[in-house]
Amino acid sequence: MKIRWSRTILLLTPATLLAAMLFVYPVFGVLSLTVHDGTSFTGEPIRQVFNSQLSIIVLQRTFVTAATVTLICLLMGYPMAYFMAGLSPRKRVLATYLILLPFWISVLIRTYTWIILLGREGILNKALVAIGLTAEPIQLLYTPFAVHIGMVQILLPIVILTCLTSILDVERDLVKAARILGATPAQAFWKVLFPLSVSGAATGGIICFILCLGFFVTPTLLGGRTSLLIANLIDLQVHKTLKWDLAAVMASAMLAATFTCLLAYWMLTRKRAEFATGGLAR
Partner 1 sequence: MTSAGATIDFKNVRKTYGKFVALEDFSMRVEGGEFMTLLGASGSGKTTALNSLAGFVDIDGGEILIDGVPITKLPTEKRDIGMVFQNYSLFPHRSVIRNISFPLEMRGVARDEARRRSFKALEMVRLDSLANRMPHELSGGQKQRVAFARAVVFEPRVLLMDEPLGALDLKLRETLQLEIKEYQRQIGCTVIYVTHDQSEALTLSDRMAVMDKGRVLQIGTPEQLYDRPQSRFVAGFVGSNNILKVQSVEEGFMTLEGLGRFKGDGRHLIPGGFVSIRPELITIRHGGSGAHMAHLSEAVFFGNSVRYILRAADSKEISAIEHRRPGQDVLPLGTAVAFDLDTSDLVPLLD
Which residues here bind partner 1, judged by CB under 8 A? 171, 173-174, 176-184, 187, 191-192, 195-196, 274-275, 277-279
Q: How far is the CB of 237 from partner 1 (least distance, A)?
A: 47
Q: How far apart are CA 154 and CA 66, in angstroms?
A: 13
Q: How far is the CB of 278 from partner 1 (least distance, A)?
A: 4
| CA atoms in the 13 A half-sphere facing the CB of 90 | 0
142 with 126: CB under 8 angstroms?
Answer: no
| CA atoms in the 13 A half-sphere facing the CB of 2 | 2
Angle ∠(73,145,203) on CA atoms, nearest 5: 20
Q: How far is the CB of 189 from partner 1 (least distance, A)?
A: 13
Q: How far is the CB of 201 from partner 1 (least distance, A)?
A: 14
Q: How far is the CB of 271 from partner 1 (least distance, A)?
A: 10
Q: How far apart are CA 172 and CA 46, in angstroms?
A: 52
Q: How far is the CB of 203 from partner 1 (least distance, A)?
A: 16
Q: How far is the CB of 70 from partner 1 (least distance, A)?
A: 23
Q: Which is nearer to partner 1, 192 or 202 (CB)?
A: 192
Q: How far apart, in Å, are the Cα atoms of 270 and each of 2, 39, 164? A: 27, 44, 19
Count H helices and E strands in the chain, helices first. Answer: 14, 0
Q: Which is nearer to partner 1, 145 or 275 (CB)?
A: 275
**Could you count the other beta carbons within 10 Å of the beta carbon of residue 96?**
16
Q: Which is nearer to partner 1, 71 or 183 (CB)?
A: 183
218 with 151: CB under 8 angstroms?
Answer: yes
Q: Which is nearer to partner 1, 14 or 182 (CB)?
A: 182
Q: Which is nearer to partner 1, 184 or 260 (CB)?
A: 184
Q: Which of 156, 188, 184 is nearest to 175 (CA)?
A: 188
Q: Which is nearer to partner 1, 81 or 175 (CB)?
A: 175
Q: How far apart are CA 157 and CA 49, in angstroms?
A: 35
Q: Which is nearer to partner 1, 66 or 170 (CB)?
A: 170
